[in-house]
Structure 1
Amino acid sequence: MQILIPVDGTDASKRALDFAIDMAVGMGGSLHVVHFTNQATDATEAILDDARERLASADIPDEPELTTITVDVWNADRVGEEILDTVDKHGYDHVVMGHHEDGPVERAVFGSAAETVLRAEVVPMTVVP
């Protein structure tokens, strides 16, 4: 099983990565950790460093892949579309994403990348709160 796990540095994303690691170990799967951004910064490296630390402490059968993908337009719907494009290009079997609770203002402004992927119904998905 090939699992795609988008990370963004939030607590929900970190919980999702931990879940995906357990899933990969339990099912003998492989992981591709990806961070979508509109500009690589020190925060990008901090997010990937955290992911590297979590992955290093696990006994994952295949070497996990970590990448950053730059997105021109930065909003949740666009990130969701990029995730779906990545799934399509690489044939991932499963997506694991974190989702944090939003208030009505945050929801109206930011939307939800997880919701975009879930509604597309093109790949099995686990949403970790």
Structure 2
Amino acid sequence: MKILVPVDGSDISFRALSFAAEMARRYEGTVHVIHITDRKNDVTDDIVERAKDILDAEGIEDDPEVSLDLELDFRPSKRVGEDILTLVDERGYDHVVMGHHGSGAVERAILGSAAETVIKSDTVAVTVVP
């Protein structure tokens, strides 16, 4: 099982990473971490470092990847969801484990939700960690 874990720097996304690491151990899978952003900066480096620390603590070998998408200016959550689905298709992931912030209906209507976009695609198994 190939598991993709998108992280955005939130505690929820790192909780999802820990969950994915446990899942990979139980089902003899692999984990790959991605951070999708429109710019690389110190915050990006911190997110990658924290993800690497979690992977190391969980005994998982992976180097978190940063994916730059310079078109994240309009409905960024929906765009991130689409970027995740593109990676699933191109790289053959079997499962996506991701956090969800539980935003309300108004936020979803305006911004969309990366998790919601991935779930609605119905193209890959998804575990959402609250």
TM over 0.5: yes
Once the two structures are TM-superposed, the CA of residue 89 in structure 1 deviates from its matched residue by 0.5
Counterpart of 1:3? 3
Consecutive unaligned residues of structure 1, counting only runs of 5 or more, are none
Please show how residues 5-84 of structure 1 align to structure 2 within 5 Å.
Answer: 5-60=5-60, 63-74=61-72, 75-84=76-85
**Tell me, what secondary structure is at the counterpart of 1:102?**
coil
**Tell me, what secondary structure is at the counterpart of 1:73?**
coil
Aligned identity (percent) is: 50
C-alpha contact 2:18 2:58 (8 A) present in aligned 1: no
Aligned length: 127
2-11 or 105-114: bigger deviation: 105-114
Once the two structures are TM-superposed, the CA of residue 73 in structure 1 deviates from its matched residue by 1.7
C-alpha contact 2:33 2:63 (8 A) present in aligned 1: yes
Once the two structures are TM-superposed, the CA of residue 11 in structure 1 deviates from its matched residue by 1.6
The CA deviation string for residues 45-97 of structure 1, in whole angstroms up to 9 with x for no partner, is: 1111110110111123xx22411101122101111110000000000010001
Give me the TM-score of the superposition, normalised by structure 2.
0.92
C-alpha contact 1:25 1:59 (8 A) present in aligned 2: no
- Runs ≥4 in structure 1, deviation > 4 angstroms? none
Please show how residues 91-106 of structure 1 align to structure 2 within 5 Å.
Answer: 91-106=92-107
Give me the TM-score of the superposition, normalised by structure 1.
0.93
Distance 1:79 1:127 in 2: 15
Residue identity in the other structure for 2:114? A
Alpha-carbon RMSD across the aligned residues, in angstroms, is 1.1
